[in-house]
Structure 1
Amino acid sequence: MLEQYLHFKEENPGCLLFFRMGDFYELFFEDAETVAKAVQIALTSRNPNDENPIPMCGMPHHSVEPYLSQLLEKGYKIAICDQIEDPREAKGLVKRDVTRVLTPGTVVEDSNLKSKENNYLGSLYWDASTNTGGIAWLDFSTGQWSGLLSRKEPELWQWLVKINPSELLLPQGFKIPPQFTELSSQVTSVPLGAYFDISSAVTKIQELQGTVNMKALDLDDKPELVRACGALLTYLEHTQKSKLGHLGEFKPLNLGKHLLLDEITERNLEIFRRLDGKTGKGTLWKVLDKTKTSMGGRLLESRLRQPWRDRAPIEKSLECVTFLFERDHLRADLRNALDSVYDLERLSTRVFLGRATPKDFIALRQSLHMLPKLRDFLSTALQEDTGELTKILKKWDNMEDIASILDVSLVDSPPPNITDGGLFKKGFDAKLDELIELTEHGEDRLKRLHEKELNQNDIPKLKLGFNKIFGYYFEVSKAFKGQVPEHFIRRQTLVNSERYITPELKEMEDRIISASDDRKSLEYKLFIQLREQLSAARSRFLFMADVIASIDFWQGLAETARVNEWCRPSLHEGMEIEIEAGRHPVVEDAMGASNYIPGDLRIDHSRRILLITGPNMAGKSTVLRQVAILTIMAQIGSFVPAKKAQIGLADRVFSRVGASDNLAQGHSTFMVEMTETARILRQATKRSLVILDEIGRGTSTYDGLSLAWAVVEELSTRARGGIRTLFATHYHELTALEGKIDGLRNLNIAVKEWKGDIVFLRRLVPGPADRSYGIEVAKLAGVPKGVVDRAREILAELEEKSHDSRAKGAVERASQTLLPGFGAPPIEISEELTEHPIVTQLTDLDVDGMTPIQALMLLNQWKDMIKG
């Protein structure tokens, strides 16, 4: 047995070998030590009295799943070595074989998966000679797969970060670049020649997809992507050791159809994870997710990762959401029914792969019972053609034939294992009914036979007995053995009695003893037949899974919109974005609707770049993110948190917000900031939406100001007319660009001073902010009073010195081409002008201390002086 174990261990290097022995899975040697420590079970020994005992641990086969889940989460690969013949029929050592290898990217059991998230296996191939590469990703639990070709290697890694596969196949020697260390996939290195061979990949893809050429799959001119796909299929063949027919049609990702969100934008906007890396509350996905099924949840995830760019599919989605938004009773009925629908995609996959449990079949049965109800709810509400929902109803499949088979076959609470019997109802199979009768009522039959013999034969005190050696018998006292009929066959003589059997008793005994095993064997065969029937209907399951996912996706968006009082956005092909009383959905969810102050915003041809100033904590970043998030929500076909929203479709959304570093790669906060800014400037188009927050804050004041100014200028001239941009900054000098850069407008987040404190009004108003209020914000944050007071003293001194410096050379620094503070060439002033009273007042003027009204009055006074 140990030789057999070591043989399979050698064939599966790098795997923990779970070796089936009877009712247990056992592990030996280093594997036993590893597993015992990883899942906290007892480590024993195969031969404890020997000098070198063999470490050993194990667990019952029926309760192995939780241990497998823990090990997969810790990154281990597991080879399952099963008994492939009945031990009762084995001659010598039971035949065993590795039936599959479990890895993080190939699991299909619910215990190892997150219900509303895809679990991808990814692969990457890069050809340095052609400077082209491809990535492919596949969810083995649903059968969906896709891929992407690119001539930019960083772009491939960016998409892998977005997709975040559980497991990533890379050619041996190929490693994740240091700038993409946030990619958390478990890397599996595979031989380049064996896994990424082009001819082998073409053959496997064509056989699986049933095509004679690669053009039908849009892969004829994408050899690098074909190699990546081939690596996935080869890996699945080696690990799953079963047919891959459940995989759907391969569809390369068409970037032209989708609004593109890079991994940085997803992170900065906290679409799936908060900035601290955690999921759940505080993310856009959590706010939007009112889906009731796993399939609907995964569709929401897919839409958020790849919103639509074309208007047509967005409008179809909005029509369905609007229909459900306006019908509260229908939506409530749908939500109640959908709550009883299980994951048809993954359940049908397990059926097809032969890994479905009886519990999975009951889940399928319950789900299919909901299909007619869902259809009736929709057809009753759809009195006229309403577009997409009407089309869905015309193709609806209640799958009543499959539901009927499941109704008459399986009991409501079957045992967990298909070899234990007790799976099927009476009436499903005549032969099985007889075996059930024997196993459940065999004693009653024996009693009736006993009564029959008593009635037919005059034998007082005829007893029915049983022992393990002779089985069932009739016992007769020696005083009455002369009355025993001829069909009684003596089996045993005792002191005071004789024991007999009859042909009928023997037959009944054989049938009762073998009935239990026969029943289990027959039920197993019937279950396999039932599984094959359901497996043949996989395409129907997948079609209805897509239908259910769409309905659940739409009703979830409608429910969220109704609860939060959102509006339907109006989308157009222009560049304008107009939002009335807009709110940030995640911030509002955290604060409560009553505490959130909505705001208005408009972007058009004359207001392409909005320069937003204001103190820290006033809400600049919230406004920036809000516009980007509302655009994304509109382009997945969702309502948006606003009173009114008109949004020009975007092809990409870019964000550069917050401060972060990557010290492991030697990248400072400023370096990360500049890297992200460089990506935006190189990739943004006229239809893009860019949000920038605090560019240039990680270096010296003049360096940062220069960079911020240059970035604004670049964005204003790119793409033949500028890119839609929201730019938040503390560099108040930039506000002087209004009027100098076409399409730039100043906005600020209003605040009010009250008794030495500031009140955040949370409203976006025209014009620049008057100052930063940094010390007031520090006070609100709880900085000690002594520090705050000292800071005010220092600020007063610095401002006074700054005013003196400006007074000495205010006129000299005036320039139409440079911002204040950038030393311009001195201006020659005649001697008579230096003594002019206006010049004298100008040099002594405290500009920062003046109100707008005072400035206007002074200008009017100077005007009168000049006229005089």
Structure 2
Amino acid sequence: MFEQYLQIKEDHPDALLFYRMGDFYELFFEDAEIAARELQISLTCRNPNAEIKTPMCGVPHHAVKTYLSRLLEKGFKIALCDQIEDPKQAKGLVKRAVTRVYTPGTVIEDSTLNAKSNNFLAALIWDEAKSAGGLAWMDFSTGQWSGIQSKTETDLWQWAIKVGPRELILQQGKAVPHQYGEIDARITPAPSAGYFNLKTARDNVLEVQKVADLESLDLEDKPQLTQACGALIAYLRQTQMQELNHLGEFKPLNLSKYMVLDEVTERNLELFKRLDGKKGKGTLLAVIDKTITPMGGRLLSTRLKQPWRDLSPIEHNQKAVTFFHDNDSLRASIRKLLDTVYDLERLSTRVVLGRANPKDFISLRQSLKTLPPIQEELRHAVQASEESDSIAIAPALKTIVSKWDSMSDVADLLEKAMVDSPPPVITEGGLFKLGYNAELDEFIELTEHGEAKLAELLQHEKESCDLPKLKIGYNKVFGYYFEISKAFKGQVPDYFERRQTLVNCERYISPQLKELEEKLISAFEQRKKLEYNLFQAIRDEVAENRSRFMFMADAIAAIDFWQGLAEAARSNRWVCPEVHTGMEVIIEEGRHPVVEAVQGSANYIPNNLTIDEKRRILLITGPNMAGKSTVLRQIALMGIMAQMGSYIPASSGRIGLIDRVFSRVGASDNLAQGQSTFMVEMMETARILRQATMRSLVILDEIGRGTSTFDGLALAWAVVEELSRRARGGIRTLFATHYHELTSLEGVIDGLRNFNIAVREWKGDILFLRRLVPGPADKSYGIEVAKLAGVPRPVVLRAREILANLEEKSQDSNLHPTERKTIVQSILPGMICSGTNNDKNDIPPEDHEIIKELRHLDINGLSPIEAITLLNQWKKSLGDN
């Protein structure tokens, strides 16, 4: 047995081998130690008394899926080794083989998947010699796949992060660039170099897609993308060990059709995850997701990742959302019906792959039974809109209704065949109704009414042989038997054959009882065998309708997507924006959808904002906590929502098409990759300046705050100037800053306008009005915010003293930065001396050693640890006090 185990394990060294032994799956050696630790199950050993012990653990075969799910969630691969011959007929060791390799990126079972999220498997290749690469991704559970080809390796890695695959297949020896280290845990090195071989990949793609050439898949001029697709197919064939008949048509992603939201923007705007990395409340998805079905939820996520860039699909979807928004009764009815529709995509995938269980067919049947009433509700609503001038017509919805496929034939087949509560496995019988198959009906009659036939035989023997106390029983050794008490003194029939003598009774069999027993046992085995064959036949018949299932899954997803956006709009009082081909962005009483959802509409103060030819760059000042970042984010979110076809949180909105949203918000670092907060900030800024176009929307928050004051001010100044020069008049930009010097650029740079978040001082405290108003902020209010945050009172008082000193020496607020720097340098020695109680220090400030060191100090060349060490030395030189 161990020889067989080790031979199989040798073929799957990177997977945990679940080895079937009787009613258990066993793991041995290192696999057992890992599984026992991760699953928190007992670790035992095969030979406890031997000098060298063999670690082992096991799980029951009927509960294995639960354990597999937990391991897959942790990122493990699992090779499932089953007995491939009947143990009753086996001579010697039962033959075993790996029937499937489970991996995080290839699971299709509901227990291991998030219903409303895609589960992507991806492959990436970069050809250094040709400076080109490809990235392909696939949701194996639905059969949908796509990809991109690029001449920039960085773009491929950014898309890999954005797609977020559970597994990413890479060429052998290929390392992940250090700045994308977060995806390291999901890397699967290609088992062989042939995975990315172009000829093999081409043949694999043509075979799976059943086409004659790559041109029909738009892959003819994309060799690297073809290689990535081929790697996916090779990996799936190796792990799934069957044909991939459920894969849909491969469609390369046409980036020109969609707004680009890179992974940085997704993170900064908290579209899918909060900045702390958690999902759910606090994200835009959580606010707008009112979908009911898994298909609708996945479509919503896709649209949020890829809003449209063209006006036509935006308007078509807006009209469909409006149709549901304006018809509350229809929306309520549709939502109730959709609640009974299961995941048609993943259910049909399991059917095609031969992995559907009886419960899956019941879910399919229930879903198909819901299609006709949904069609009827929509048909009446569309018809009413055509007959009424007051109800807007939704062409996209009308098209779906006209092409509707109720799939009544498949529903009728499943209704006629399957019982309402089938057993969980397909080999134990009890799956089909009476009347579905005549031969099966006979076996059902025997197996389910066998007790009645036994009772009938017992009654016959009692009456014909005058045995009023005759009983009938059963055990596994003798089967069925008649039992007669020893107290009976009469004559036992001649055809009764004694089988067992007990203290109080005698047990007999008769030819009639033996014949009936054989029929019952035979009927039970034949019933199980026939039902298994019938189940496979019905599975094949349903699988032939895969394309119909996918069409209706797409239709249900679209309807769910539209009604979900309508439900969110109605419940949150959102309005339908006007999306146009111009550059203007005009928002009246705009609100941040996520902040409003958390705080409540009564506590949220809306803001107006206009971007046009005269106001391309809005420079926003104001203290921390006043709401600058909220205003920046809400404009970007409204642009994304509008181009999804959604309503927006405002009283009115007019939004010019956006091709890409860039977001540089907040402070973050990547210490593991050696990137400081300032380095991350500058990398993101560099990306914006290199890639932003005339139609982009840029939101920048606190550029330059990660370095010295004057370095940061100079960088922020230069960035603003560059954005104003680009795209023949400036890129649409919202720029939040604490550098009040930048406010002097209004009137100097065309299209730049000052705005601020209003605050008011009241009895020494400040009140945040949360209102965006024209003009620059009068001051920073940083000390007041520090006081609100709980900074100790002596620190606040000392800060005010220093601030007063600075303001006294620098009355002219319009000084050039270099002049301001001179003033600060001139008053710094006095501030140092006034801030110490060292009476022994009689050295004139200008001649103090620290001042001399400061004059010659290269700040930009200091590392953080060197700066801290230097500060510590100075502190010690000034005395303990």
Question: What is the TM-score of this pair, normalised by structure 1?
Answer: 0.90
Offset of residue 766 of structure 1: 1.0
Is 2:5 the counterpart of 1:5? Answer: yes
SS in 2 for 1:769: coil
Aligned match of 2:399: 391
The SS at the match of 1:748 is strand
- Partners of 1:62 and 1:417 within 8 A in 2: no
Relative distance call for 1:500 and 1:754 in structure 2 (3 A) is closer
Relative to structure 1, the CA distance from residue 508 to residue 661 in structure 2 (aligned partners, 3 Å threshold; closer, same or farther) is same
Pairing 1:376–2:384 present: no
CA distance in 1 between counterparts of 2:677 and 2:497 reads 97
CA displacement, residues 121-147 of structure 1 (integer Å, 9 cap, x when unaligned): 111111101110001111111101111
Distance 2:475 2:103 in 1: 50
Deviations 1:368-410 (A, max 9, x none): 1211121122112122253111110111111111112222222
Structure 1 residue 453 displacement after superposition: 4.0
Task: Quote the Cα distance in structure 2 between the aligned partners of 1:52 and 1:441.
Answer: 56
In the alignment, the residues of structure 2 paired with residue 459 and residue 173 of structure 1 have an alpha-carbon distance, to the nearest angstrom, of 85
Cα 1:97–1:596 shift into 2, 3 Å: same
Tell me the CA shift for residue 437 of structure 1: 2.8
Structure 1 segment 225-304 matched on structure 2, within 5 A: 225-304=225-304
Q: How far off its partner does 1:184 sit?
A: 5.8
CA drift at 1:542 = 0.9
Change (3 A) 1:403 1:770: same
Question: How far 1:479 moved relative to its partner?
Answer: 6.9
The answer as to whether partners of 2:176 and 2:184 remain within 8 angstroms in 1 is no
Fraction of identical pairs, as percent: 64
> 2: distance between equivalents of 1:645 and 1:783?
41
Displacement of 1:87 in angstroms is 2.0
Aligned-partner SS, 2:727: helix
Report the equivalent of 2:351.
351
Aligned to 2:726: 718
Deviation at residue 325 of structure 1 after TM alignment: 0.4
**Contact 1:736/1:819 (8 A) holds in 2:** no
| Structure 2 SS opposite 1:64 | helix
**Matches of 1:316 and 1:652 in 2, distance apart?**
21
* 1:344-493 equivalences in 2 (<5 Å): 344-383=344-383, 384=386, 386-456=394-464, 464=472, 466=474, 468-473=476-481, 481=491, 484=494, 488=495, 490=497
Matched letter for residue 135 of structure 2: I
Moved more, 240-249 or 86-95: 86-95
Trace 1:704-783 onto structure 2 (pairs within 5 A).
Answer: 704-783=712-791
Partner of 2:560: 552
Which of 608, 628, 642 is equivalent to 1:600? 608
Cα distance between partner residues in 2 of 1:469 and 1:64: 32
Q: Residue 245 of structure 2 aligns to a residue in which SS? A: coil
Return the alpha-carbon distance in structure 1 between the equivalents of residues 74 and 493 of structure 2: 75
Counterparts of 2:247 and 2:334, CA distance in 1: 30
Residue 143 of structure 1 pairs with residue 143 of structure 2: yes
- Once the 2 structures are TM-superposed, how far is the Cα of residue 219 of structure 1 from its aligned partner? 0.5
Distance in 2 separating the partners of 1:102 and 1:418: 21
Q: Does structure 1 retain, via aligned residues, the 8 Å contact 2:810–2:820?
A: no
CA contact (8 A) 1:138 1:146 kept: yes
Kindly report which structure 2 residues correspond to 1:535-574, keeping only aligned pairs within 5 A, or say none.
535-574=543-582
Structure 1 residues 132 and 466: CA distance shift in structure 2, 3 A: closer
Structure 1 residues 507, 153: CA separation in 2 closer, same or farther (over 3 Å shift)?
A: same
Aligned with residue 620 of structure 1, among 608, 619, 628: 628
Query: Is the contact between residue 292 and residue 338 of structure 2 (CA under 8 Å) also seen in structure 1?
Result: yes
Provide closer, same or farther for how the CA distance between residues 501 and 753 of structure 1 changes in structure 2, counting only shifts above 3 A.
closer
Whether the aligned pair in 1 keeps the contact of 2:316 and 2:394 (CA below 8 Å) is: no
Alignment of 1:675-686 (within 5 A): 675-686=683-694
CA distance in 1, matches of 2:464, 2:43: 63
In structure 2, relative to structure 1, the CA distance for the partners of 1:662 and 1:454 (3 Å cut) is closer
Compared CA separation, residues 475 and 333, structure 1 to 2 (3 A): closer
Q: How many equivalent pairs are there?
A: 812
Q: Distance in 2 between matches of 1:664 and 1:497?
A: 82
Gaps of at least 5 residues in structure 2 are 387-392, 824-881
Give the unaligned 5+ runs of structure 1: 825-868
Residue 537 of structure 1, CA deviation: 1.2
Name the TM-score, length of structure 2 as normaliser. Answer: 0.89
Whether the aligned pair in 2 keeps the contact of 1:260 and 1:651 (CA below 8 Å) is yes
Other-structure match for 2:97:
97
Give the structure 2 partner of residue 639 of structure 1.
647
The equivalent residue for 1:57 is 57
Q: Please report how far the alpha carbon of residue 472 of structure 1 lies from its aligned counterpart in structure 2 after TM superposition.
A: 3.6
Evaluate the alpha carbon distance shift between residue 166 and residue 493 of structure 1 in structure 2; reply closer, same or farther with a 3 A threshold. closer
Provide, for residues 790-830 of structure 1, a one-character-per-residue CA deviation record: whole Å limited to 9, x for no partner. Answer: 21111111111223xx59xx9xx78xxx9974899xxxxxx
Supply the AA of the counterpart residue of 1:298: R
> 1:572-623, CA deviations, whole angstroms, 9 ceiling, x for partnerless residues?
0000000000001011111110000001000011111111111111111111
Check whether the contact 1:138–1:144 (CA below 8 A) recurs between aligned residues: yes
Relative to structure 1, is the Cα distance of residues 482 and 521 closer, same or farther in structure 2, using a 3 angstrom cutoff? closer
Which of 621-630 and 367-376 deviates more? 367-376
Q: CA deviation at 1:468?
A: 4.9
The amino acid across from 1:149 in the alignment is Q
Bigger mean CA deviation after superposition, 134-143 or 530-539: 530-539
1:441 Cα shift?
2.5
1-side partners of 2:472 and 2:770: how far apart? 92
Aligned in 2, Cα 1:289/1:475: closer, same or farther, shift over 3 Å?
closer
> In structure 1, how many angstroms separate the alpha carbons of the residues matched to 2:660 and 2:736?
19
CA distance 1:770–1:241, shift in 2 (3 Å): same
CA contact (8 A) 1:44 1:56 kept: yes
1-side partners of 2:179 and 2:298: how far apart?
Answer: 29
Which residue does 2:168 correspond to in 1? Answer: 168
Cα distance change of structure 1 residues 701 and 464 upon mapping to structure 2, 3 Å threshold: closer
What SS does structure 2 have at the residue aligned with 1:251?
Answer: coil
Cα distance in 2 between the residues matched to 1:209 and 1:689: 39
Structure 2 residue matching 1:799: 3-state secondary structure = helix
Distance in 2 (CA, whole Å) between partners of 1:66 and 1:499 is 46
Distance 1:408 1:695, change over 3 A: same
CA contact (8 A) 1:733 1:819 kept: no
Go from structure 1 to structure 2 and tell me whether the alpha carbon gap of 1:453 and 1:743 turns closer, same or farther (over 3 Å shift).
same
Aligned to 1:221: 221
Sort the Cα spacing of 1:492 and 1:768 in 2 relative to 1 into closer, same or farther, 3 A. closer
- Cα-Cα RMSD: 2.2
Q: 2: CA distance between counterparts of 1:470 and 1:421?
A: 25
Q: Distance in 1 between matches of 2:713 and 2:255?
A: 35
Aligned to 2:669: 661
SS at match of 2:449: helix
Secondary structure, counterpart of 1:617 in structure 2? coil
